[in-house]
Amino acid sequence: MVRVRFAPSPTGPLHMGGVRTALFNYLFARKHQGTMILRIEDTDQGRFVPGAEEYIMESLAWCGIEIDEGIKEGGKYGPYRQSDRKAIYKQYADQLIESGWAYYSFDSAEDLDAIRKEYESRKETFSYDTQTRKTLRNSITLSADEVNHLLNSSLHYVIRFRMPENHEIVMQDLIRGEVRVNTATIDDKVLFKSDGMPTYHLANVVDDHLMQISHVIRGEEWLPSLPLHVMLYQAFGWTDTMPQFAHLPLILKPSGNGKLSKRDGDKLGFPVFPINWNNPETNEVYSGYREAGYFNDAFVNILALLGWNDGTDKEIYSMDELTEAFTLERVGKSGSRFDPEKAKWFNHQYMLLKSNEEIAEEFIKAYSAKLKNQAAVEETEPNDQPAEKEPLQLTEQEWDRVVKIISLVKERAQFVKDLWSQAWFFFEAPTAYDESVIKKRWSPDMTKILKDITLLIEPYLHTDPDEFSLDPADYESMIKTHISSNGLNMGNVMNVLRLCLVGSSMGPGVFDIMAIIGPAAVISRIEKAVQTIS
């Protein structure tokens, strides 16, 4: 039975590396018909940030990472928030004291600070470990009477793990293989504090055990904690059911120098968070992929390929395909450089993959305010709601027209927010004309040439569009025949026509544009351009 957990601490927004950890857990769970658990690790109350828990859940939901057991979903191994499990941990700390795997330490913060400073003055680093504990104030050095006395006084104390001396811990990691560490290099970590709160290490191991976690899949930054965790399983006598561990490689900055961190915020020119984060303390807003215009499935695809590949060149995966293909064996050991340009490329690929209808819906949502002002897109019902809230009501014909426009421009856009700059001229006439095109293509005889072209189109002005409308091929044969039979310069006339319709040399095919805006707009745009330019 595969049971995995994503165990974030609500100390702020989830970084994209955290989302990737959640994703890999989720893919692994789904692949093995297992259970995905969301456990909130909030034992460090001093670092609790309001709103972070909701942010985490909203981010996961946006990515389509479904939780089977968690603070919202419930489950038979709950509660799933560590502060709600406070009463559970003390007995486990006591158990370790009784078995000799842990001890009380009474050194005050001031005493330890003083010692640390003294070490620093000698250019050494102090750690509370198998050697120094012999000289400090703890239940190893003090008599039983003294210890009892201190425990009964209101003094603060902590419970520390008693690392065995000079012992080689051998660990297995599913990504890194065998890892060996000697206990001489590890300090005696605090497990429990006299305020009744466990630390991360104790709560994490106890909960993984009680929640019957089969695989711990987490970021590489937790690898240094693995020796202690493995020793804790041993100390509790839980080695037989100890989960398997997999430590995921870091996500590196685009430069490849150093890990992509939360502190990078928006500094590197791209978001490091899945969705916008409003820092409740400073009121600052950090941008998220969602608000930057990324599709959620593109974002998931981007994350999946940071540190994992299936051994082929395939790059585009749906969540189902990822579930099918994902294995921990194919997660790499070395850090994976984040490439923001490639991220945009992914979003573009998803733009192309999605149906024109789907993109049209997003486009209409994003630009309903602009579209409302267009004669071509009329509101059927009056409403006082803000434009974004109330979806724009389009007639079937208007809807088809938007879908068609999207099909013509989407290959030129990476994001929905780029679409307006590629499509505005389908909705409004240009008001300015590119000087360089005029210089290159316009000549005095253009006035007459353009007038003749409008005369060609005029007869279609009065036809019923339901009965007859000019499609791109009709415009093409009509105009091209006219150009060649009059011996006109094809390049110049076509470029000038585009200039009249769009104001520049951008956009999809001239005849496609004509067919969409219709004969009346074609004629009026040509007339306006002639007036302005000549």
Is 262 designated active site?
A: yes
Per CB under 6 A, the list member of 3, 4, 9, 171 interacting with ligand GLU is 9
How far apart are the C-alpha atoms of 204 and 41, rounded to whole Å?
A: 8
Q: Which is nearer to ligand GLU, 4 or 423 (CB)?
A: 4
Judging by beta carbons within 10 Å of its beta carbon (0-12, 13-18, 19+), is residue 443 exposed, middle or buried? Answer: exposed
What mask of x and - would describe binding to ligand GLU in positions 202 to 241, judged by CB under 6 A? --x-------------x---x-------------------
Q: Which is nearer to ligand GLU, 204 or 301 (CB)?
A: 204
Per CB under 6 A, the list member of 3, 4, 7, 414 interacting with ligand GLU is 7
The region of 3-11, 329-337, 470-478, 504-512 touching ligand GLU under the rule CB under 6 A is: 3-11
CA atoms lying within 13 Å on the CB side of residue 488: 25
Shortest spacing between CB 181 and ligand GLU, in angstroms: 17
Using an 8 Å Cβ cutoff, are 6 and 213 in contact?
no
- The site that binds ligand GLU (CB under 6 A) totals a number of residues, namely 7
Shortest spacing between CB 34 and ligand GLU, in angstroms: 16
Q: Which is nearer to ligand GLU, 37 or 292 (CB)?
A: 37
Q: Give the neighbor-by-neighbor strand order of the sheet with 102-105.
A: 102-105, 158-161, 190-193
The one catalytic residue among 262, 370, 404, 417? 262
How far apart are the C-alpha atoms of 128 and 112, rounded to whole Å?
A: 9
**Eight-class DSSP state of 239:** G
Q: Which is nearer to ligand GLU, 18 or 335 (CB)?
A: 18
What mask of x and - would describe binding to ligand GLU in positions 287 to 316, judged by CB under 6 A? ------------------------------
Helices within 252-355 (DSSP H only): 296-304, 319-325, 340-353
What are the C-alpha distances in Å from 215 to residues 1, 48, 170, 212, 340?
10, 26, 18, 9, 31
Shortest spacing between CB 379 and ligand GLU, in angstroms: 49
Shortest spacing between CB 82 and ligand GLU, in angstroms: 9
φ, ψ for residue 526, nearest 5 deg: -65, -45
The region of 1-9, 116-124, 138-146, 350-358 touching ligand GLU under the rule CB under 6 A is: 1-9
Quick check: 59 binds ligand GLU (CB under 6 A)? no
Number of H helices and E strands in the chain, helices first, is 18, 13
The region of 6-14, 88-96, 291-299, 320-328 touching ligand GLU under the rule CB under 6 A is: 6-14
How far apart are the C-alpha atoms of 31 and 33, rounded to whole Å?
A: 6
Per CB under 6 A, the list member of 19, 41, 231, 523 interacting with ligand GLU is 41
> Who's near 340: CB < 8 A, 6+ residues apart?
254, 268, 269, 270
Q: Which is nearer to ligand GLU, 21 or 495 (CB)?
A: 21
Among the listed residues 428, 422, 376, 368, the one whose alpha carbon sits nearest the alpha carbon of residue 398: 376
> Who's near 134: CB < 8 A, 6+ residues apart?
140, 141
- Residues involved in catalysis: 262
Q: Which residues of the chain form contacts with ligand GLU (CB under 6 A)?
A: 7-9, 41, 204, 218, 222
